[in-house]
Structure 1
């Protein structure tokens, strides 16, 4: 390497001390924009592509999916706020006029911005993982059975079974004791939802 090239590299290394904070601010601005866009995109995906109703999930899956979603969005919002803090800094009360004070403040601010960016990155990754986990739970979890147990009372008998079909002419239930039974509505006195059929 030539002497001129070495001198130029040395000058750039000396200038790096003065350009590091603006460079970190630009990097933080990009992160803030990216995190905001990602949070908005995930919110749209959850609203448009998720289940119509988390109430369709079993109790444990509903609580888990809701907890993951809320925690994930909180982490994404916190990550966005940290990236915004890193990009724009905190309001300062004093104006630094001395060279040493400005140098000290710049060193501290570089450390704060670097730390805020690291936390923003970590919170973003964790938030995305939690939101994706909630979506996977919501999409893959189903009720134990697609049928609804019912108790049917007719003029002569009381039957319990899973409701298969009900239209304007008849209803069909699947009973453990009687198999599939079709009952015309004229024979049905009452139909009540049941929890289980013993």
Structure 2
């Protein structure tokens, strides 16, 4: 390499000290935009493709999915706030007029921005993992409705709703939430229809 080329590389190396903070700020802007877009995309996917509600899940699955979604929301929000902090800094009370004071502040701010970006990316990755975990729990868990056969039985005296246990020539047996197991004589049964809920 020529002397002129070496001199130019040395100048660029000296200028890098002064341009590092603006470069980190631009990088943080990209992370902030990406985190915001990712959070919005995940919200849309959960709303469009997720279950209508979690009430049909067993209690353990409902609690797990809800906890994972809340933790993911907290992590994605924290990551977004860290990216905003890295991109825009914090309001400073003093204006640095001295060269050495400005240099110290710039070095400290570079360290803070680098740390905030690392935490923002970690929060983003963990938030996405938790959302995927919540979706797996919600979509992969069978509901309690699929294991039971709820029916609405119309008799001479009224309507009874519950889980179908037995049908034979003499009786129709169902289990209700309030009365427990009920045996209805077959002669009194007018109709038996499936029921989504009682």
Which category describes the TM-score, using the shorter chain as reference length?
Answer: 0.7 to 0.9
Partner of 1:171: none
Partner of 1:125: 125
Q: 2:72, 2:36 → 1: CA distance? A: 14
Partner of 2:89: 89
Q: Which runs of 4+ in 1 moved over 4 A?
A: 149-155, 181-186
Task: Rate the CA distance shift 1:186–1:89 in 2: closer, same or farther, 3 A.
Answer: farther
Partner of 1:188: 189
Task: Rate the CA distance shift 1:44–1:153 in 2: closer, same or farther, 3 A.
Answer: closer
- 1:48 positional shift: 1.1
Gaps of 5+ in 2: 157-161, 173-183, 193-198
Q: CA RMSD in A?
A: 3.0
Gaps of 5+ in 1: 156-160, 164-173, 192-198
SS in 2 for 1:56: coil
Q: Residue deviations 1:132-179, cap 9 Å, x none?
A: 110111111112551335697978xxxxx954xxxxxxxxxx52x849
- 1:185 positional shift: 9.4
Q: Residue deviations 1:16-63, cap 9 Å, x none?
A: 000000000000001001101111111111111100110011100000
Q: 1:124, 1:98 → 2: CA distance? A: 38
| Length, aligned pairs only | 174
Partner of 1:148: 149
Provide TM-score, normalisation by structure 2.
Answer: 0.78
Q: 2:187, 2:112 → 1: CA distance? A: 77
- 1:100 positional shift: 0.3
Partner of 2:36: 36
- 1:186 positional shift: 7.5
Q: Residue deviations 1:170-195, cap 9 Å, x none?
A: xxxx52x849x889998239x9xxxx
Provide TM-score, normalisation by structure 1.
Answer: 0.78
Partner of 2:10: 10
Partner of 2:99: 99
- Are 1:22 and 2:31 matched, yes or no? no
Task: Rate the CA distance shift 1:81–1:185 in 2: closer, same or farther, 3 A.
Answer: farther
Q: 1:101, 1:32 → 2: CA distance? A: 29
